Structure 1
Amino acid sequence: MLEFRQVHKAYATPQGPLTVLAGVDLTLGAGESLALMGESGSGKSTLLHLAAGLDLPDRGEVGLDGRAISSLAEPERARLRRESLGLVFQQFHLVPSLSVVDNLRLQARLARREDPAWTAELIERLGLAGRERHYPEQLSGGQQQRLAIGRALAPRPALLLADEPTGNLDEASADEVLALLRALVHDTGCALLMVTHSPRVAAPLDRCLQLSHGQLTAHGQPMPRGQQPEPPPCA
């Protein structure tokens, strides 16, 4: 579903090039969930942006759903994002002028996969029944994040990318949102790549990797080049 092959990425700074990713290899299969951890500035968000085709590697290849996205023109990458990706961020990025139901419909329509029955099921499972015509500003923070998750999953994407999706929530709301996220991901069969700084958030996912000094590590050890990491579940 998602594959990184010897991916390198650096950014220009006044002090010279800053290497963020240095030969990263990664494979995420359909239905798998993976937590990506690392200190601030370690490159977690960069890796997520590359996975979404929002940025391109300096060297190496990123593959999504069997396509080499780094070789596609931006309009093609945008279409692939609409059709194959769901994105959830720490900031909710809901459309304030659209109601709950219209926020859900928007993403599905963009992907040309609107399904009224699935939209109705999402509203129920998101705990937003009776609030279909409410606007985002009329919802609590936890409700807004649940809506953001529902919007990302409305087109039934093949891969969901989540960047600190509960960073703005209190612990109780975060636990509710994460439980819902895991259940919906499981039921839709999509793969999940979640960036988090929290071992507690990472623990329920299938696998957990650390990004440090441009390399992925499992249990503190660099991964052999060209080998897919298969660490035990997060603990």
Structure 2
Amino acid sequence: MLELRQVHKAYATPQGPLGVLNGIDLTLEAGESLALMGESGCGKSTLLHLAAGLDLPDRGEVRVAGQPISSLDDTGRARLRRETLGLVFQQFHLVPSLNVFDNLCLQARLAGRSDAAWSAQLMQRLGLEGLEKRYPEQLSGGQQQRLAIGRALAPRPALLLADEPTGNLDETTADEVLALLLELVHDTGSALLMVTHSPHVAAPLARCLQLSHGRLGRALTT
């Protein structure tokens, strides 16, 4: 579902190029869950952005569902995100002018996969039933993150990319949201790549890798 082959990425600085990813090899199979750990600034989000086609590698290849991302133009990468990927970020990125139900259905509608029964089931399972007509600003942080997760999973994406999805939540709410996320990912059959700095958050996922000094290695979780 996701494959990175010898991926390199650097950024220009006044002191010269700063290498962030140095020959990354990674494979994620359909239905598999993988946590990517590492300290702040180590390149976790960069790797996720490359997987989403939001950025391109300097060298190497990124494939999503067998499709080399570098072979696509901006329109093609946008279509890939719309039809194949689900994205969940630490910041909720909800549309303030849309109510809860329309936010939930937005991605599915863009992908041409609206499913009224599935949307209603998501509302119930997300604990948002009865809040359909409210707006994002009227929800708690935990409710907004659950809504963001529901929006990403409404089209049943083949691959879900999550960047610190519980980072803005208190510990109890974070545990509840994480459990719900993993349950829904399992039910949709999506592959999951989650970026986190927390061993506690990473522990329930099937695999965990550590990103350090631009390279990947095994990580221990608690």
Structure-1-length-normalised TM-score: 0.93
* Alignment match, 2:71: 71
Say which SS state the counterpart of residue 148 (structure 2) adopts. helix
Which digits, 9 at most, give the CA deviation of each residue in 1:127-171, with x for residues without a partner? 011111111111111000000000000111000000000111000
For residues 133 and 25 of structure 1, the distance between their equivalents in structure 2, rounded to whole angstroms, comes to 45
* Alignment match, 2:217: 217
The 5 Å alignment of 1:61-100 reads 61-100=61-100
* Alignment match, 2:23: 23
* Alignment match, 1:36: 36
* Alignment match, 1:186: 186
- Alignment of 1:119 with 2:116, yes or no, is no
* Alignment match, 1:101: 101
1:172 Cα deviation from its structure 2 partner = 0.6
1:219 Cα deviation from its structure 2 partner = 4.4
1:66 Cα deviation from its structure 2 partner = 1.1
For residues 127 and 104 of structure 2, the distance between their equivalents in structure 1, rounded to whole angstroms, comes to 14
* Alignment match, 1:223: none
Counterpart residue identity of residue 12, structure 2: A
For residues 106 and 177 of structure 1, the distance between their equivalents in structure 2, rounded to whole angstroms, comes to 20
Unmatched segments (≥5 aa) in structure 1: 221-233
Percent identical across equivalent pairs? 80
8 A contact 2:92–2:145 mirrored in 1: yes
Say which SS state the counterpart of residue 117 (structure 2) adopts. helix
* Alignment match, 1:13: 13
- Alignment of 1:56 with 2:66, yes or no, is no
Which digits, 9 at most, give the CA deviation of each residue in 1:41-96, with x for residues without a partner? 11000000000000000000000011001221110000000000000000000001
For residues 46 and 185 of structure 2, the distance between their equivalents in structure 1, rounded to whole angstroms, comes to 23
8 A contact 2:37–2:219 mirrored in 1: no
For residues 30 and 58 of structure 1, the distance between their equivalents in structure 2, rounded to whole angstroms, comes to 26
Which digits, 9 at most, give the CA deviation of each residue in 1:108-140, with x for residues without a partner? 111110100110000000001111111111111
* Alignment match, 2:149: 149
For residues 137 and 192 of structure 1, the distance between their equivalents in structure 2, rounded to whole angstroms, comes to 28
* Alignment match, 1:228: none
* Alignment match, 1:162: 162
Structure-2-length-normalised TM-score: 0.98
Unmatched segments (≥5 aa) in structure 2: none
Moved over 6 A (4+): none
For residues 48 and 216 of structure 2, the distance between their equivalents in structure 1, rounded to whole angstroms, comes to 13
* Alignment match, 2:200: 200
Aligned in 2, Cα 1:219/1:109: closer, same or farther, shift over 3 Å? closer
RMSD: 0.9
For residues 200 and 99 of structure 1, the distance between their equivalents in structure 2, rounded to whole angstroms, comes to 33
Counterpart residue identity of residue 3, structure 1: E
Give aligned pairs, total: 222
For residues 129 and 22 of structure 1, the distance between their equivalents in structure 2, rounded to whole angstroms, comes to 46
8 A contact 2:208–2:219 mirrored in 1: no
For residues 75 and 9 of structure 1, the distance between their equivalents in structure 2, rounded to whole angstroms, comes to 22
For residues 162 and 185 of structure 2, the distance between their equivalents in structure 1, rounded to whole angstroms, comes to 12
Say which SS state the counterpart of residue 173 (structure 2) adopts. helix
For residues 153 and 106 of structure 2, the distance between their equivalents in structure 1, rounded to whole angstroms, comes to 11
